[in-house]
Amino acid sequence: MLGPSPLRRLAVKVCVPAWALLAGPAYAEGGIQDSQQVQRGRALLAQYQCGACHTIPGVPAARGEFAQTLRGWGQRSYIAGRLPNRPELLARWIAEPQALVPGTAMPSMGVSASDAQAMAAYLFTLR
């Protein structure tokens, strides 16, 4: 069996630490922005009263039982049973559910794209 070539091993040794060094501070910053986004999302979920219909762990008063619980959202495979559960699709769903699934019982609530992205970020933290 042939192992990785010496050149490739050298490239990995030299490039990976350099890359990590460059990427490190950017990642750290992204982490802080992410957690602000997550906190903002949680506040928005309360503000838009999504909890009138949904139970949402960590969001005060969100104990609605009209629609599915959003408990464990980060582990879900589908949105509304048919759309792949990815953050950008979830944000679109929150902003305009009727556009994605015509006739759905989830109302379009006039949520802006950026508010929807923050709410999606929070929901993806739920395990």
**Residue ranges binding ligand HEC (CB under 6 A):** 45, 48, 50, 52-54, 66-68, 70, 79-81, 94, 101, 104-107, 109, 111, 119
Cα separation, 78 vs 25, whole angstroms: 34
Among 103, 99, 104, residue whose Cα is nearest residue 80: 104
Shorter beta-carbon distance to ligand HEC: residue 48 or 125: 48
3-state secondary structure of 79: strand
For the beta carbon of residue 46, count every other beta carbon within 10 angstroms.
Answer: 15
For the beta carbon of residue 126, count every other beta carbon within 10 angstroms.
Answer: 17
Shorter beta-carbon distance to ligand HEC: residue 23 or 61: 61
Find residue 55's DSSP bridge partners. 63
Which residue is closest to ligand HEC by CB? 50
Shorter beta-carbon distance to ligand HEC: residue 20 or 99: 99
Shorter beta-carbon distance to ligand HEC: residue 31 or 39: 39
In whole angstroms, the minimum distance from the beta carbon of 116 to ligand HEC comes to 8
